[in-house]
Structure 1
Amino acid sequence: MTNNRSTLRYFYYAFILVILGFFFGTAYVTVDLLGLYFKHIYLLYGSISELLLGGFAIFAAVLSLVVATFGCIGIQRLSGQTIILYSIGLIISMFVNTGLTIASFTLENSEKSAHQRTISSTILLYNNLFLNEIANAWDSVQNTYNCCGVSGPLDWDKLYHSEKLPQSCCTSNFADCKPSSVYVKFNGCFEPLMEHLESKIHTMAAVSLAFTIFHIPGIAIAYFASRLARKNAL
């Protein structure tokens, strides 16, 4: 029994390392996603889906740590009740991470049109003296992705009526930025911004899917631990 108990502990310690890896991986991906969201929050302010997804990911990571703590106590002491709590928590954690995986893939496929409407609506607010943050956000996006407008420079016609463009729509800061300028960036900003956002969501989905699969050996460990606990009680 002593050998079985030692082997079980080694397997569980390896599983703990996986949980810690998931926790820090989720924390990194979540901070990365929320950092991108808040960087462009004044263009994406109409959508809180990424914010909710980040909160969901944090909840899943914290739940995993709590479950791991119960498992550590239960396996160290071979306590039947604690192992039962660990098993229940592990199953709940598995469902939560499955939900996180599904939510990530669903968000990726469903939010694109909503984001496009939201970003388009902010163009008319570019020159609002009370909303300088929107102008700064547009300039940041157009400089970061080397682009202009949502789909292209023509998007700014609704504000400037083909007379001019924001200076960030041109590659040169030494000339007036007009639609006829040779320095105009012709690529729209929506696609590169969404590709960047989706790459973060892809990573989160991959991390949560991998950890969902890793719950299977965790459940097996809980099963063998409960058997050892019953034998120890006899």
Structure 2
Amino acid sequence: MLSCEMNIIKYILFVFNLLFAISGIGIILAGAFVISDIAEFNHFVEGRVMAPPIVLIVAGAIVFFVASLGCLGAIRESRNMLIAFAVCLLVIFIMELAAGIAAACFKSDFQMTLKSALKGSMKSYSSNDNDRLAWENVQSKLKCCGIDGPIDWYNESPERLLPKSCCHPVNEGEDPISDAVCRTAIVTADYVYQNGCFEKLEMKVNGAANVLIGVGIGIAFVEIIGIILACWLASSIKKDEEEK
């Protein structure tokens, strides 16, 4: 009976680890997607925002390796390998939990930090090429203007002018409007993006966080199942050895 139980658990664990190895690749892809999605705006976003997806990529690589260890341990019916597999899963689970807690702690002061970074960069727009290029990039890519709206540039600029990246064609497909019209057209939505970049960046980062949270919760659930199966099979192997 025990041998039958071992065989059932062994093959369940083997199939589980094949799926787990595939999920490791999925974790790596999810982390890479998040980094590629927000990395181009890292001038305004602190490095701490980039840490969770990097941790996720590292965890994904470890998951792939550990899943291979679990497959080998299940096929060979090696109690030591199965215990090592369960311990590795537990370590990965703790890593993901720590990354999640860090992300949750940072989220509480993220809004204030982001707005402060945007304000500081806006003040240096005219004198610092990096700030100017960062603003041109974020405004053209996210179709926004200023921190909370175009009025921010009007208040900041001594000449009461807007950056060219704040402006768009009146109708889609038309040529951009002239610099002269754009830089003085703050009052009309016909020419100027009316949404602020703070809101757009916040939505971008929150969307990335939701991807990480969803993937993290799903993988954590799978890891717990893996730990239970590995410990169960290791226990069955030990009982079988004691009976022989």
Do both share a fold (TM > 0.5)?
Answer: yes
Structure 2 residues without counterparts, runs of 5 or longer: 170-175
- CA shift, 1:180, in A, is 4.3
Per the TM alignment, residue 119 of structure 1 is displaced from its structure 2 partner at its CA by 1.8
Q: What are the Cα deviations for residues 115-142 of structure 1, in whole angstroms up to 9, with x where unaligned? A: 11112211122233xx434323212221
The Cα shift of 1:204 comes to 0.5
Cα deviation, residue 2, structure 1: 5.0
Q: Which amino acid aligns with 1:92?
A: V
1:23-56 CA deviation, whole Å, 9 max, x = no partner? 2222222112212332112233xx1112222222
**More displaced 10-residue stretch of structure 1: 201-210 or 171-180:** 171-180
> How far apart, in 1, do the equivalents of 2:95 and 2:75 lie?
26
- 2:24 corresponding residue in structure 1: 23
- Unaligned 5+ segments in structure 1 are none
| Paired residues of 2:153 and 2:160 also in contact (CA < 8 A) | no
The alignment yields a C-alpha RMSD, in angstroms, of: 2.3
CA distance in 1, matches of 2:164, 2:31: 33
Whole-angstrom distance in 2 between the partners of 1:5 and 1:222:
11
Partner of 2:58: 59
2:136 is the alignment partner of 1:115: no
Is 1:206 aligned with 2:214? Answer: yes
Question: TM-score of the superposition, structure 2-length normalised?
Answer: 0.83
Mapping of residues 35-50 of structure 1, within 5 Å: 35-44=36-45, 47-50=46-49
For the residues of structure 2 that align with 1:197 and 1:15, how far apart are their CA atoms? 33
Does the alignment pair 1:154 with 2:151?
A: yes
Kindly report structure 1 stretches of 4+ aligned residues shifted beyond 4 Å: none
Q: Percent identity?
A: 21
Compute the displacement of 1:71 (Å).
Answer: 1.8
Instruction: Name the residue aligned to 1:132.
Output: 129
Paired amino acid for 1:156: W
Question: Could you report, residue by residue, the CA deviation over 1:168-199 in whole angstroms, capped at 9, with x for unpaired residues?
Answer: 11224323221545322222111112101110
| Aligned mates of 1:108, 1:14 — CA distance in 2 | 37
Distance 1:154 1:210 in 2: 43
In 2, the alpha carbon distance for the partners of 1:206 and 1:146 equals 28
Cα-to-partner distance string for 1:66-87 (whole Å, 9 max, x where unaligned)? 3323322221211222222122
The equivalent position to 1:171 in structure 2, one of 156, 168, 172, is: 168
> Residue type matched to 1:145 in 2?
L
TM score, norm. by length of structure 1: 0.86
Instruction: Name which of structure 1's ranges 103-112 and 26-35 shifts more when overlaid on structure 2.
Output: 103-112
Residues paired across the two proteins, number? 230
Counterpart residue number, 2:12: 11
The letter of the residue matching 2:116 is R
Question: What is the distance in 2 between the residues matched to 1:26 and 1:223?
Answer: 24
Could you tell me which of 195, 198, 201 is aligned with 1:190? 198
Evaluate the alpha carbon distance shift between residue 37 and residue 146 of structure 1 in structure 2; reply closer, same or farther with a 3 A threshold: closer
Counterpart AA for 2:192? V
Q: 1:203 to 1:108 in 2, by over 3 A?
A: farther
Q: Give the AA of the match of 2:109.
A: S
Segment of structure 1 superposing worse, 111-120 or 132-141: 132-141
Q: How does 1:80-119 map to 2 (within 5 A)?
A: 80-119=79-118
Of the structure 1 ranges 202-211 and 143-152, higher mean CA displacement relative to structure 2 is found in 143-152
Quote the offset at 1:226 in angstroms: 0.9
Structure 2 CA distance, aligned partners of 1:220 and 1:2?
A: 18
Partner amino acid, structure 1, of 2:177? F
Flag the 1:197–1:35 CA change in 2: closer, same or farther, 3 A: same
Instruction: Tell me the distance in 1 between the aligned counterparts of 2:69 and 2:226.
Output: 12
